Amino acid sequence: MALTTYWTTRPKSRAEARKLEAEVDRTRAETTKILAEVEVRRPSVAPQDTTPKGWEVSGSVPEDYEVGLDFEVFSVGRASAFIRSRHENPTGYASLVQSIKADDYHCTRLQMTARVKARDVVGWAGIWMRVDDAHERTIAFDNMGKPERRIAGTVGWRGHSVTLDIPENGAYISFGAVLQRAGQIWLDEVRLNVVDDSVPVTDIVSNLPRHPVNLDFEDGTY
């Protein structure tokens, strides 16, 4: 009886294990792609004349984009910031960036919130936050890069958030908004708030698997 049970349950267990490994592989592949697409580091170009005070411009090909202030389109107050492509076929992405020291946020859970409006976004857009250590190694990161969270097309003002744990070895916190490919986004009401543990983190770095899987390629494909 025991032997029969073993042989009848074993295929199910193997199938479940393969499914779990496939999910891990998929998460790792998506995260690697996101980090490769939008690994926003220190600003790569000098601020444009229209760059909002206190912010900088970064990106893979920032010259294909324009940033500035809009005094006609905003969520609250009297202005918003925008990123828009300069032509129909921009390459790479551009980001509006601000960086601060992490000292005051050590061992806290930090949430960035903002309202974003989009028009004709062909690729995708999102808000993002990243924590680097003193050696500029990324230790926490989220940019809404997963397909189910991306901003695309034309949408009205909507609230978005990213949430990261700020470890004790965190040295810098960078945050902002990113636009990839053609279109325009507006950014308003950006806030950084310490939240309690009831708010889940959205960190994609911490979701990377600890160990490699399927190294002999015997578990097939997705």
For 50-66, how does the pLDDT look when each residue is reduced to its tens digit (9 = 90+)?
899 999 998 888 888 99
Please say whether the beta carbons of 74 and 185 come within 8 A.
no
Residue type, 216: D
CATH number of 38-195: 2.60.120.260
Given a cut of 70, whether residue 100 has pLDDT beyond it is: yes
Can you give the pLDDT at residue 62? Answer: 81
- Between strands 56-59 and 184-195, the pairing is unpaired
The neighbour count for residue 176, using CB atoms within 10 Å, is: 26
Given a cut of 80, whether residue 193 has pLDDT beyond it is: yes
End-to-end CA gap in the chain: 34
Residue 26 confidence class, pLDDT cut points 50, 70, 90: low
Can you give the pLDDT at residue 27? Answer: 53
The neighbour count for residue 175, using CB atoms within 10 Å, is: 25
Can you give the pLDDT at residue 29? Answer: 56
The pTM (predicted TM-score) of the whole model is 0.74
- Break the chain into its structural domains and give their ranges: 38-195
**What percent of the chain is predicted at pLDDT more than 70?**
77
Please say whether the beta carbons of 159 and 113 come within 8 A.
yes
